[in-house]
Chain A
Amino acid sequence: MTLPGLTAERELRIVRELAAQLDDFYREALARGLGEADAGAYARDQIRDWDRMAQDVWLADRRHARPRFDRLVEPRLEQLTGAIGPAAARRNFGGGLLVLFNALGDVRYAIRQLVRTPGFSAVAILTLALGIGATSAIFSVVNGVLLRPLPYPHPDSLVRVHEILQKFGRFSVAPASFLDWRQQNTVFEHIAAFNSTGATFQTPSGPERVQGTLVSWDMFDLLQVVPTLGRTFRADEDMPGKDAVIVLSHGLWERRFSSDPRILGQSVTLNGAPVTVVGVMPAGFTFGGESEFWRPLALDPAKAGRGGHFLGVIARLKAGVTVERAGAEMKTIAERLALQYPESSANESAEVIGLHANMVEHIRSALLIILAAVGVLILIACANVANLLLVRASIRGKEIAIRTALGAGRLRLILQMLAESVVLALAAGAVGVFIAYLAIRPIQTLGAGSIPRAGSIALDGTVLAFALIVSLVTGILFGLAPAWQASRTTVGSVLKEGGRSSTVSGGRWIRNGLLVAEVAMSVVLLVGAALLLRSFERLIHVDPGFRPEHVLAFRVALPNNAYPQEHHKIAFFASLMERLESLPDVTAAGMIQTVPMRGDYLLSFTIQGRPAVGPNQEPSANYRAISPDYFKAMGIPLLRGRAFTLDDGEKSPMVAIVDQKFVERYFPDQDPIGQGIDIGNGTDGFYKIVGVVGSVRNDSLDSNPSPTMYGPYTKDVFSSMWVVVRAKSEPAQLSAAARQAVRDIDNALPAFAMTPLADVVSDSIAQRRFSMLLIAVFAAVALVLAAVGLYGVVSYSVSQRTQEIGLRMAIGAQRRDVLRLVVGGGMKLAMVGAVVGIGGALALSSVMATMLFELKPLDLVSYAGTALVLLAVAMVACYVPARRAMRVDPIVALRAE
């Protein structure tokens, strides 16, 4: 009925009252003994001319005309759309324009419907907003990390080139290989190498350590990025001795040089030596992780080796060259070089991979699994809201019946209901985007250490468009069932069911089906979360091989010009150890060139007295240069023999310590003590093994310990060392004293990268923690949604069955029986859902395999635990409405019939 100009409340009331009165006529007819069809016809017959009726009502009720503003806008709309009116619906305009106008009318009507039922709308919108918010937040990660192109022009032609080593697979590149590649390739416009570095800047507030990258001179040309200020490097600066130039990042320029444009051409002190600033890069430019400056790599062709692999290599493809073609050529070149230099490069090859693909390949599957999880979450939210809408549709059955009587066609009703769910979903989408906005910061923080490109995670247009599409799709998805059901409602069917607001029995099947699906999807998510949680729980209890608690770690780097000779460096480090150990709170202090879980350092070796093997065939193992008290500071147990002492100095005999894994692998039936190993092959001769220590997980907590050799740092002096200090109390409390100890020896040196060692360990599993936390949160939300859904369905069924329950109680059923009836009904659905869900989880379990640590995807505890938790929650969700059912007063319930 068209009641143009009346307020929404008024229109609702009138429709409602007419429905009530028609219902009375219908019941009267039934009471007189008419059949249902006849009774329906009789009821409908009460109002023959709806247009006239509408006009009379409008005339009588003008006082409730809507405010002026509304009336100015809407009659136009109304005229054009004739939206909800039976007359207009019957007037056969046809044409797409009418559909559009109808849709506008539907949307307007839908908004009014939602405003009328604020409680329902709030629950539905919040439920969906959780789903849409979570999806948008995760999509922003996927978008930032996987989808958004790299921030360089023509990013698709940027590639990464690796060497392939027989023993280690994909690997960094040896300088000589890179120089040969540059000369011999025909597929790249540019090919450039880089290596990370660090530098100490002197400032009035003390020395500051800054990350930088050494790059081939044409790196910036390759990336096609021009500096904001000045220039980048020239070819002639990419040579040893001519490389005293530096390009600054925008951030460093702002922070350290107050954005002073006169910095160009000036000399700054870097690692104690002067370098000239030639350029400043634009804001937002990044290359080489956290790099704040770039300097020429300055490879010396005369000294470039093939044994040490430490360069990263990127290249830009020539126009028309594919990654595959470039890969084929590089493979050919590398294999030719391998034949040419069998001593150093036997069996080596090369591989070309898209730069972006290379960055994200290790995170891709985890992110896609998380995205899938969040997709399941949104489906659960949809099922929930669909159920809410179904219940509401049946409550609104009379309204719909009237509209049907008024001549609204089935398609019309479906569209109208869909408009409501889409409007609902769009509102939820808006709230969801806000939730995503709130979630994005924690996700960035959580992801910073574990996922590449975390900085490019943002709520941008793509994410908003995604949220919009998700909202529309979910709106249609969860609106379909109620719309379809509502469209089947007829005046007769509604009136037939008397005063109770109910609907065709098909509704129950849809609701139950949706609930089972919802429970099943929750189970899938919960099983996934349980597997990840259990796997993570195992992971954090993995013994790293050292005791990271109470240990403070930091780095010290000695500039070569201030500490030119090895004995200068040794003197500094020895003095530092002495000072640290004399601190009152310190039990032990040690040093190592690469602390476990922060990078590897592999060297090949040969064992004295064993038959020689071919070039490039020698075994290799982790190599660590350490100070005497390193094991004590780290809590690594000495199993046999002795640790290094201060006597193992520069001039004393060469000694080594190996770990248990090394013994197991290379001296399975032999006493390793007293054996000789040539660490690094042919550099210093044989080291005599004097001790065996416990094995350490060098790569990460989820990697296996690998054989490791230790040598005294005095025999192999590194200019940059990690210091580990074991404290009696909290390691963080030591940091000031540790910094002071470094400064006391050399005022120009910063202690940097200071962190509790425990954080180093937990950082090594940050990506797993990221995935686990996200999926656990989603699973928890899913569980809550499933519980809410179950509660809703059971409560509704209780309200529907009040009379039945009353009757049962009247004929002697006890409260206990009622409880069993209601809870049993709900639990049956939950069980079916749980079984289906467990089945689904089993089917999907293989997907999880890569994310699990020492846990089979078919872990019984996870499955059984999930089922138990879910059934317990379901029990509570059913019990609450069941209590209400138990309190049904049989007299009241029966009288209602």
Chain B
Amino acid sequence: MFSSELKKGSTEMLVLSLIESRPRHGYEIGKLIEARSGGRLTFALPTLYPALLRLENRGWIKGRWMERAGERERCFYRLTPEGRRVLAEKRRTWQAYVNAVNEVMGGSDA
């Protein structure tokens, strides 16, 4: 639906925002992106997983093996304080970018 270049720039931001409220595991993140976008955005495992590793290596998220009652062990990712700052920054930038793009594109009609 969307070109891969388009998606590439937003993967990290999407992941960060999805684990903002609570830790989630990799499969869950992929599925949530798909669900919340109404199926318009899908990130396959080969894209999503390296992204998770990258984020973790930058110290923005932290994965932890946990066992929830009645489920088997999974690696849950949560935001680190640094990640929270980065997410806020990315949100601002994205918002500003979207606004700018909208304005530019909307302006052509006016």
Q: Which A residues lie at the B interface, using CB under 8 A?
A: 13-14, 16-18, 20-22, 24-25, 28, 46-49, 52-53, 56-57, 59-64, 498-501, 892, 895-896
Q: Which of B18-66 contact A (CB under 8 A)?
A: 25-27, 31, 44-46, 49-51, 53-54, 57, 63
Q: Mark B47-90, 1 if CB is under 8 A from A, else 0.
A: 00111011001000001000001111111000000000000000
Give the complex CA separation of A64 and B53 in angstroms: 10
Question: In the complex, which residue of chain B has the Cβ closest to the Cβ of A49?
Answer: B46
B57 contacts across to A, CB distance below 8 A? 60-64
Report, as a range, how many residues of chain B touch the other chain: 20 to 34
Q: Which one of A21, A47, A500, A501 lies within 8 Å of B26 (CB-CB)? A: A21
A residues less than 8 Å from B71 (CB atoms): 499, 896
The answer to whether A500 touches B70 (Cβ under 8 A) is no
Q: Which residue numbers of B lie inside 8 Å of A, CB to CB?
A: 25-27, 31, 44-46, 49-51, 53-54, 57, 63, 69-75
Q: How far is the CA of A46 from the CA of B30 in the complex (A)?
A: 12
- Shortest CB-to-CB span from B11 to chain A, Å, is 12
Given A499-B72, A892-B70, A895-B70, verify A53-B26 contact (CB < 8 Å).
Answer: no
Instruction: Check A59–B50 contact: CB distance below 8 A.
Output: yes
Chain A residues with CB under 8 Å of B44's CB are 46
The reply to whether B27 and A25 form a contact with Cβ atoms under 8 Å apart is yes
Query: Smallest CB-CB separation from B28: which chain A residue?
Result: A24
The distance in angstroms between the C-alpha atoms of A64 and B58, with both chains bound, is 12
Question: When A17-B26, A892-B70 are in contact, do A61 and B46 touch as well, CB less than 8 Å?
Answer: no
CA distance A47 to B47 in the complex (A): 10
Check if A18 sits within 8 Å of B74, measured CB to CB.
Answer: no
CB B34 to nearest CB in A, in angstroms, measures 11
Q: Is the CB of A17 within 8 A of B75?
A: yes
Q: Which residue of B lies closest to A499 (CB)?
A: B72
The interface residues of chain A lying within 8 Å CB-to-CB of B75 are: 13, 16-17, 20
Bound-complex Cα distance A22 to B46 (A):
11
A529 to chain B: closest CB distance in Å?
Answer: 45
Once A60-B54, A63-B57 are accepted as A-B contacts, the answer to whether A53 and B46 lie under 8 Å apart by CB is yes
Q: Which residues of A contact B50 (CB under 8 A)?
A: 53, 56-57, 59-61
Q: Which chain B residues border A46 with CB–CB below 8 Å?
A: 44-46
* Contact assessment for B27 and A56 in the assembled complex, using a CB-CB cutoff below 8 Å: no
Q: How far is the CA of A53 from the CA of B52 in the complex (A)?
A: 13
Chain B residues closer than 8 Å to A896, beta-carbon distance: 70-71
Across the interface, do B72 and A60 meet the contact criterion of CB distance under 8 Å? no
21 A-B pairs with C-beta separation under 8 A: A13-B75, A17-B26, A17-B49, A20-B27, A20-B72, A20-B74, A21-B25, A25-B27, A46-B44, A48-B46, A56-B49, A57-B49, A57-B53, A60-B50, A60-B57, A61-B50, A61-B53, A61-B57, A499-B71, A499-B72, A500-B72
The answer to whether A892 and B69 touch across the interface, beta carbons within 8 angstroms, is yes
The answer to whether A20 touches B49 (Cβ under 8 A) is no
Apart from A46-B44, A892-B69: 4 A-B pairs, beta carbons within 8 A: A20-B75, A21-B49, A48-B46, A56-B46
Q: Which residues of B contact A61 (CB under 8 A)?
A: 50, 53-54, 57
Contact between chains at B25 and A20 (CB < 8 Å): yes
Question: Which of A53, A60, A499, A501 is within 8 Å of B51, CB to CB?
Answer: A60
Docked CA distance A21–B53 (Å): 14
Collect the chain B residues with CB atoms within 8 Å of residue A59's CB: 50
Cβ B53 vs Cβ A60 within 8 A:
yes
Which A residue sits closest to B54, measured CB to CB?
A60
Chain B residue numbers with a CB within 8 Å of A22 are 45
Are A52 and B27 closer than 8 Å at their CB atoms? no
Closest Cβ–Cβ distance, residue B80 to chain A (whole Å): 15
Residues in B neighbouring A28, C-beta threshold 8 A? 31
On chain B, the residues within 8 Å of A21 by CB distance are 25-27, 45, 49
The chain A residue sitting closest to B70, CB to CB, is A895
CA distance A53 to B53 in the complex (A): 12
CA distance in complex: A501, B72 (Å): 9
Chain B residues with Cβ under 8 A from A47's Cβ? 45-46
- For A27, the closest partner residue in chain B by CB is B27
Complex CA–CA separation, A165 to B54 (angstroms):
93
A27 CB → nearest B CB, Å: 9
